[in-house]
Amino acid sequence: MKPNKVILKNKLRVITAPLPVKSSTALILVKVGSRNETKKYNGIAHFAEHMFFKGTKKRPTALDISSLIDGIGGEFNAFTSKEFTGFYIKSAAAHLNLALDVLSDMLLNALVKKEEVERERNVVLEERRMYLDTPMRYISEVFESLLYGDHPLGWDTVGTEKSLQNITRESFLEYMNTYYHPNNMLVVVSGEVKQGKTELLVDEYLGGIKPREIPSFLPAKYNQAKPAVKLFYKDTEQAHMCLGVRSYQTGHPDRYVVSLIHTILGANMSSRLFIELRERRGLAYYVRSGVEEYLDTGAFAAQAGVHQKKIEDSIQVILSEFKKLAEEEISEVELKKAKEYLKGRLILDLEDSREVATLFGLQELLEHKTRTPEEIFKNIDKVTRKDILRVSKDLFKNESLNLAIIGPYKKEGRFLNLLNF
C-alpha cells in the first residue's frame, strides 16, 4: 500500500490512500498544537478546535453542520495534541464531496461569534474539570509537566482556568490567521477514492488560500542529572502514577526499538508489567506503558492505578522490570511475539480508512515523508535482541527517572528515595 502525494500551487499537500472499502475519510491536519502557545493564551489550540464547529457563513450554526453529517450517517470529530490539530469526516464514499466541502468551510469561514466564544468557554472549562476528576487520564499531564516544566510541552493542552478566560474572539482570529495556512496543513483522503478527481476537489475547496511564513516553536530544553518526583495532591481512593524516562524524538532511528520495548513491557495483557503487577501480585487493575514522540524530544513511561498503601511496592516492581530489560537480553521467542503484535495491530488498523488517513497524514505532516506498511514491517523485523538491550541501557538510568503521582501525598522525599535501580 503506497499513498500518492500531490502538492498544490499554494503548497497544500494532498495525500490519497485507496482502500478496498465503501467508506472514505477526509482528514485535514494542521501543524499547530499547544506547544505553539504562549502562557497567556494556553489552551487556545484546543479551544479553537471547538470553535470551528460553531458555524460558518454558509452554515451559521453548529446544528447546521452536525445535521448535514448526521444526515449521511457520517462520523465527524477533531483532536488537538501538543504538535498538531486534526479534523475529519468519515462517511460513505459517495459523500466525499460533501465531507470536503464541510471541512474546508469550517476551517476557512468560521464565524467565531463573540456569544459562541463565551458559551463554549464554559464547555471547555467543564471539559478541563472532567480531566482533573479523571486521574487515570490526567496523570499523563502531570508527568509531562515534570519532564518539561514551564515550557509549552509541560503545560496542559486544555489550558488553565486563568488562561481560558484570556481568550477572546480577537485572539482566536489572530491565532487562525497565524497558523491556518496551506503550507502548514495537509489533506488526506483514504478509502474508496479516485486519484486525480480527489485532488481536483481539494483544489476547488482549498486551493485559493495563500501560504505565509509560520512562526517556529520553542525548542524543548532540559538537563536532567538526577531522578525527579512531582506530586499532585488529590484525595483519591486510588493512587495513580506515571514512572518513566526521556526517550527519542519523532523519526529517530531507534523508534521501532522503543515501540518493541513498549510492547514487551506494557502494551497488552501478556506484557511483563501486566503479568507482574496484576496477574502475579494483584497490585493494579490497570497497568500499561506508552511512548510519546515530539519533533525534538520524547518520553517512555509506565502507568498504573494502585492502592494507596501499595504504591511503593508497585514502583519497585516497575523499576525491576526496567532494570531487567537493561541488564538481560530478552529471548528470541519474546522478541518475535512483540514484533508480531506490532505488525498485527497495524494490519488491523489498515482495514479502517480513518486509521490509514491518520497513519500517512501524521508521517507526512511531521516528517515530510511517508513509510508504507511494508517498510514499517521491515523496520520492525530488523530489530535484534541486542538492539533491545542497547536502547534499554540508554533509556533506563537512575539519573533519567521521573515519577509523577496523583493521590493524597505531600512529601516527595518518600518516593525520591525509591528511584534507583
- The residues that are catalytic are 49
- SS3 category, 69: helix
**What is the side-by-side strand order in the sheet with 284-293?**
228-233, 402-407, 238-246, 298-307, 284-293
Instruction: Using the structure block, give the residue that is written with the C-alpha cell 502557545.
Output: 37
Q: What secondary structure does DSSP assign to 201-244, as a single string? A: HHHHHHTTSPP---PPPPPP-----S-EEEEEE---SEEEEEEE
Q: Which three cell numbers stand for residue 17?
A: 490512500
Question: How many CA atoms, within 13 angstroms, populate the side-chain half-sphere of residue 10?
Answer: 20
Please classify residue 303 by burial: count the beta carbons closer than 10 Å to its beta carbon, then call 0-12 exposed, 13-18 middle and 19+ buried: buried
Phi/psi for 125 (5° steps) reads -60, -40
DSSP string covering 115-157: HHHHHHHHHHHHHHHHHHT-HHHHHHHHHHHHHH-SSGGGS-T
Check the CA dihedral 20-17-252-267 and report its sign: negative
The gap between the terminal CA atoms of the chain, to the nearest Å, is: 44
Distances (CA, A) of 343 to 338, 346, 376, 380: 9, 5, 8, 8
Grid coordinates given for 62: 453548529
Residues with Cβ within 8 Å of residue 325, at least 6 apart in sequence: 261, 264, 265, 388, 389, 392, 396
* C-beta separation of 201 from 231 below 8 A: no
Q: Check residue 63 and report its DSSP letter.
A: H
